[in-house]
Structure 1
């Protein structure tokens, strides 16, 4: 979408077939389509932490909220810190005062909860029986330190049962694009020797290719969540999506962020 700038292209977000089959639920894995940002942010940049024009970001987020049929003040994200911390949302909060966490859970209807990502793994959750939802930002650090499990625990406290939870893994950087150094591999293997299964040898000596999606799926399964969908999208290779790593390789200086969100219909 480079160069399209403020073109008013209708956003057609990705959806999970499993989540779409749940009555009384809306969700979206947003791409770059449908936004007003320009230059390296061209499209639907929802990153309030980016250096994009804040007026453009606000309009992009308003459009995302509208797609989910909620007013912008009920479209919530957190200040992400690559942690296992989870925020519980029961009422709207101001974007400037949003809690520091990497996941949100709620049982409040009409409150859209979302996470931002640009290579990290967004995961959306729903227990259709208990009417409890969650949204998780699972980068490698959060995934390793338990953000997935913490989200499931927080949903249980709101009445969900993990056996009933449906999870969908959104667009993220995939193994063919995710080269890491030996220190990265050692960190995972030191935590659990079985984590070596999520690495393949890279072309460069001393490097490996990391399967973040596979690792997230395993953490979901270990947490008792067995109904799992995956978009299969690689944010690095697919130009429809923002990518932190691609922006670094292109020496662009900054990058846009997607918001991926879910809401219980009121």
Structure 2
């Protein structure tokens, strides 16, 4: 078993980490630190992987998560709940110390946020639907409702599919450009002539538009970096039966 691959962001002054696939107990097509409960992997193995990741950030801390549905919905959590009681949402926020927040991704953008001064943190899963729908805006609003201030919120965008790897259909840009014609800057024509979307840059722009002043994007392509990250699109292109998910975690220390 290899060491865990943890990407950290200097923008965040609280315990956190964007995990790669290295380490963990999963085998086969999802070998490594697969943290996706919906991946078809052995549930006990996935839970062991999630515990391993959590202990690398806040040893012994409970891990709160949500049932992700590609929505813009953010929820406030105060405790970890059983798997079948998780709320349907794509972001979660807390001011409870000693509680870890976690989201899983496999090309979508993981976003971790913190107001270290107020003691409020958030984690969001942003596929293109959630990103365009405003998952970052709802996460920030939930943090502010717990006492965070926009001037003190910092955000980091973790490993996700890069523009060079994210070819989309010709009709894909239309609703995004209808929302704001300036969004044209997030598209380029790829080698085949089809558009490519820059999810990471779009998320950064949404965070900035909401007033977040300190934003860090790690710039790691989940599709291209096969040895480091799981990728839904890469697995789909290869007609693989399933794919793993990497986890991203953030929390406030108990003391």
For the residue of structure 1 that corresponds to 2:172, the secondary structure is helix
Distance in 2 between the 1:185 and 1:12 partners?
34
Distance in 1 between the 2:174 and 2:107 partners?
21
Instruction: Say whether residues 1:217 and 2:204 are aligned partners.
Output: yes
Is the CA contact (8 Å cut-off) linking 1:32 and 1:43 kept in structure 2?
yes
Q: Aligned-pair distance for 1:67?
A: 0.8
Is the CA contact (8 Å cut-off) linking 1:27 and 1:262 kept in structure 2?
yes
Distance in 2 between the 1:116 and 1:71 partners?
20
Aligned partner of 2:2 among 5, 9, 26: 9
RCO higher in structure (CA 8 A, sep ≥6): 2
Distance in 2 between the 1:125 and 1:95 partners?
24
Which residue is equivalent to 2:38? 49
Q: For residues 65-110 of structure 1, give each alpha carbon's deviation from its aligned partner in whole angstroms, at most 9, with x where no partner exists.
A: 11122436x1111100111111111122112211100000000000
- After superposing on structure 2, the runs of 4+ consecutive aligned residues of structure 1 that deviate more than 3 Å are none
Aligned partner of 1:96 among 59, 84, 89: 84
Aligned partner of 2:127 among 139, 156, 167: 139
Which residue is equivalent to 2:19? 30
Distance in 1 between the 2:152 and 2:47 partners?
35
For the residue of structure 2 that corresponds to 1:87, the secondary structure is strand
Is the CA contact (8 Å cut-off) linking 2:65 and 2:80 kept in structure 1?
no
For the residue of structure 2 that corresponds to 1:217, the secondary structure is helix
Q: CA RMSD in A?
A: 1.0
Q: Aligned-pair distance for 1:10?
A: 2.0
Distance in 1 between the 2:60 and 2:83 partners?
14
Distance in 2 between the 1:116 and 1:70 partners?
19
Point out where structure 2 has 5 or more consecutive residues left out of the alignment.
none
Q: Aligned-pair distance for 1:34?
A: 1.3
Which runs of structure 2 are paired with 1:164-179 in the superposition (5 Å)?
Answer: 164-179=152-167
Q: For residues 21-40 of structure 1, give each alpha carbon's deviation from its aligned partner in whole angstroms, at most 9, with x where no partner exists.
A: x2xx2101000011110111
Is the CA contact (8 Å cut-off) linking 1:76 and 1:113 kept in structure 2?
yes
For the residue of structure 2 that corresponds to 1:43, the secondary structure is coil
Q: Aligned-pair distance for 1:238?
A: 0.4
Count of residues paired in the alignment: 253
Is the CA contact (8 Å cut-off) linking 1:124 and 1:169 kept in structure 2?
yes
For the residue of structure 2 that corresponds to 1:82, the secondary structure is coil
Point out where structure 1 has 5 or more consecutive residues left out of the alignment.
1-7
Which residue is equivalent to 1:180? 168
Distance in 2 between the 1:224 and 1:164 partners?
10
Distance in 1 between the 2:151 and 2:204 partners?
15
Which residue is equivalent to 1:4? none
Aligned partner of 1:256 among 237, 241, 244: 244
